[in-house]
Structure 1
């Protein structure tokens, strides 16, 4: 397993992160024993070296299932979750609920979700101050921003207010998005890629993995739906696809197909 320092957090995380927001997906729900399947997926990931797990308050069942699966190994992994609340009261409510669901007394990385602006920069609410307060209290170790807006992501990176920024980055995103990745590196901001398969649109894991693996500071969060998906991710983590002319040609074919 390869590891990377996640920006200013100094957290040494696996370059392959486990996206736990899919732990309530149809594939898992339709299995004979969803709880057992989740535990098996999480335990295999951990055994193979994955130490970074990302979830969100908007997925309470996923938080609960992740907590059960991490029982006994919580102290050996880094746990990230998110709040979509932008005000202090809402953030306090969400962190309390997340701590309870995750059966933990702290969150390693707490991310605020916003697509319409950067709390602390573009808004007058007290949300960002609340995040700082939670960090000062030791309830959260680090704070980040998660967004589907690339402009919001860029603003957050340049603001210096956030230790990590999570945004969509994959084969199908515009070439300009790579500029945000470089900006993260310049500003020592942890770069987390959401939607590495473009929300399920892409099915070619080797191409998707190889594309993102070119960027050494990027930590993709892979939503795991099936055993086969996890097996592929772990295989290509150990044997990264070679990015050569043929690889780039295949990437271009996929881009042309969807565009």
Structure 2
């Protein structure tokens, strides 16, 4: 397993976490085996926006003895009174459900208490008006909640809430389909979504990625908006390459799926290469560097993806981006304009021209 650090909380988070959506459908024996295997393989981050209530008791039994080694994101607004997931902003229900979840999980604290699933401005207003936000903040003041998170599918609203300074972790749906404006949760334009990812990195806010496979649609040519099957490894790498992303949370319901996903770290890099998207993407989404580094190797030795990333972050006010850029061994001014990157860029970015722009920005 490999790990990334949330700059605001300093938590070390496994790059692949556990999405528990389908876990409640497993029998207890298989669920326990899956959770034990995930722990042994180094997974330490678990999302508890699951599809059914049995999941909580499974985790309580599996991880209570190693609770201090696990990180849970628990949602203030997820309701399991019927046994299956539903959504609420009713304060009494939220309180009841949080008490119940803590009991089932056999824990007395929450690593990341999440403002849950706000997609409309009216959701945010109701969350505040009904007292749910105040309750979450009270739990944080009491030490029950260690950090505040937010789950959303809407970049504009997510940005608004992030700007309040409340949020340390964002759960957001990131995959090629949504980012290129295909699918139910493809809210916001391509540029709006990328701006959100950069804003999170600039503020040190980690992103945990939900729906990396678009509910499996991207893994089947018949359902993929690109009319071509992508692999789980391409989708995971795509998400991990976005600014701010710390962990990808695929929904895992059986051992076979878990083992296949964890092979991500072992497979040849060619299996993770998603440059084919450049041929499949709509014209309106091309021309933007997504830091995939498919343009490598640069004949002049530039890390083109990193140079682009620091430039984009610097432009939105990340105070550390310029320093990181200036510490690079090779900078944009070292570009020899050979055109190698222009020819190889699957997203049709004119990188040679962009290197001049970046060098000018940093006064080289």
Structure with more of its chain in strand, by fraction: 1
Q: What is the rounded CA distance, in whole Å, between the counterparts of 1:240 and 1:97 in structure 2? A: 44
- Cα gap change, 1:226/1:155 in structure 2, threshold over 3 Å: closer, same or farther? same
- Partner in structure 2 of residue 31 of structure 1: none
Aligned residues: 248
For the residue of structure 2 that corresponds to 1:8, the secondary structure is coil
Q: TM-score, normalised by structure 2?
A: 0.62
Mapping for residues 151-190 of structure 1, pairs under 5 Å? 151-174=156-179, 175-176=190-191, 177-190=193-206
Task: Tell me how far apart the structure 1 counterparts of residues 178 and 108 of structure 2 sit (CA, whole Å).
Answer: 37
Using the alignment, how far apart are the partners of 2:50 and 2:258 within structure 1?
23
Hey, what does 2:144 align to over in structure 1?
Answer: 139
Deviations 1:132-153 (A, max 9, x none): 1101111111111112223222
Change (3 A) 1:255 1:94: farther
Cα shift readout 1:181-229 (whole Å, capped 9, x = no counterpart): 1110011212111111112212221211121222363121111123232
Q: 1:61 aligns with which of 54, 58, 66?
A: 54
Preserved contact between residue 44 and residue 69 of structure 2 (Cα < 8 Å): yes
Q: Counterpart of 1:15? A: 15
CA distance in 2, matches of 1:160, 1:51: 26
Whether the 8 Å CA contact 2:20–2:50 is kept in 1: the answer is: no
In structure 2, distance between residues paired with 1:9 and 1:120: 27
Unaligned runs of 5+ in 2: 78-87, 180-189, 220-230, 283-364
Segments of structure 1 that go 5 or more residues without pairing to the other structure are 29-33
Q: State whether residues 175 and 212 of structure 2, in contact with CA within 8 Å, keep that contact through their aligned partners in structure 1.
A: yes
Of structures 1 and 2, the larger Rg is shown by 2
1:220-231 to structure 2, matched below 5 A, reads 220-231=248-259
Deviates more, 1:148-157 or 1:221-230: 148-157
Aligned: 1:107 with 2:117: no
Tell me how far 1:58 sits from its aligned partner: 6.2
1:58 and 1:37, CA in 2 relative to 1: closer, same or farther beyond 3 A?
closer
Change in Cα spacing, 1:253 to 1:73, as seen in structure 2 (3 Å) is: farther
Separation in structure 2 between the aligned mates of residue 130 and residue 215 of structure 1, nearest angstrom: 32
Question: CA 1:98 to 1:254, structure 2 compared with 1: closer, same or farther past 3 Å?
Answer: farther
RMSD of equivalent CA atoms: 2.6
Report the secondary structure of 2:49's partner residue. coil
Per-residue deviation, 1:119:
4.2
Check conservation: 1:86, 1:119, Cα contact below 8 A.
no
CA distance in 1, matches of 2:138, 2:47: 22
Q: Which residue of 1 aligns with 2:154?
A: 149
Check if 1:86 corresponds to 2:89: yes
Name 2:120's counterpart in structure 1: 116
- Pair 1:238–1:132, CA change in 2 (3 A): farther
Tell me the distance in 2 between the aligned counterparts of 1:122 and 1:143.
14
Q: 1: distance between equivalents of 2:207 and 2:151?
A: 10
Query: Quick check: 2:89–2:127 contact (8 Å CA) kept in 1?
Result: no
How many angstroms apart in 2 are the aligned matches of 1:240 and 1:148? 32
Show the counterpart of 1:237: 265
Distance in 2 of aligned mates of 1:8 and 1:151: 22
Partner residue of 2:66? Answer: 73
